Amino acid sequence: MNEAVVNNMSIINGLNKVDGFDPSAFLRRLTGENGEEQFYLDVKYRKLWFRLMHPEGKITKRIIKLENEFAIIESRVYLNRNDAEDAYISCAFAQRWRKEDDAYGLKYVETAEELKQAIDLQYMNYDVVIMAAAVADYKPVKSALQKIKKEELNKLSLALESTSDILLNLGQKKQHQFLVGFAAETTNVIENGKKKLIRKNLDMLIANDVSGTNSGFDVDNNKATILLQNGSMYTYPCIKKEKLGDIIVEHLIENI
């Protein structure tokens, strides 16, 4: 391995370390084409470092070219999310293949199906799994690779089909994992939450009441009920989301 790189690692680590996250702990050694070992930090850890180092920043992505087997994606990095479109500090292009490529870590996860595949690969390696991401329930049956010209159609119908139910799939093959799910409900919050807890074989479910304007989406508060597989239930009316997160973790620790 390059001696200069090794000798300067402590300096590099000091520059890049953020409170609560040390990138050097996640470096991997790869062998280059010339046979020499080199350090590599997976994209997901680079993005995490950036978000911690620059909390006001943003990363944008857009597809430049889309084919059946690959897409070319442009990524731009901004130090402030309000910066003008051309005020980025870094711009990079990546070719993303549909086929699996482990050499440089998992590729971007952009669809519900890709998320399912990524989770399936890692699920058995974890003891606690918290499924907080809101994944689309439906996807287009057919995707157009080019722009659909309005001049060619008087009417356009969009046919949708269900995406994979990732949480249900995890519950069905659960072994040692403590599995946590979330639900956003507008009616019969607790009743619907209990049904989901049982149907998806969860250990804990946080049922959020999103029927009002002062809790749920686009505000800092949540009305939530925490349901446990053992029948326990805890209701929190209009609580700060940050505080609710702490409470969820406390219940998690008590029950694993």
d(CA 100, CA 71): 14
Q: Render pLDDT for 24-34 as a digit per residue (tens, 0 to 9).
A: 788 888 776 67
Kindly report the number of other CB atoms within 10 A of residue 228's CB atom. Answer: 16
Reported pTM: 0.57
Q: Render pLDDT for 179-222 as a digit per residue (tens, 0 to 9).
A: 999 999 999 999 999 999 999 999 999 999 999 888 888 888 99
Q: Render pLDDT for 161-183 as a digit per residue (tens, 0 to 9).
A: 999 899 999 999 999 999 999 99
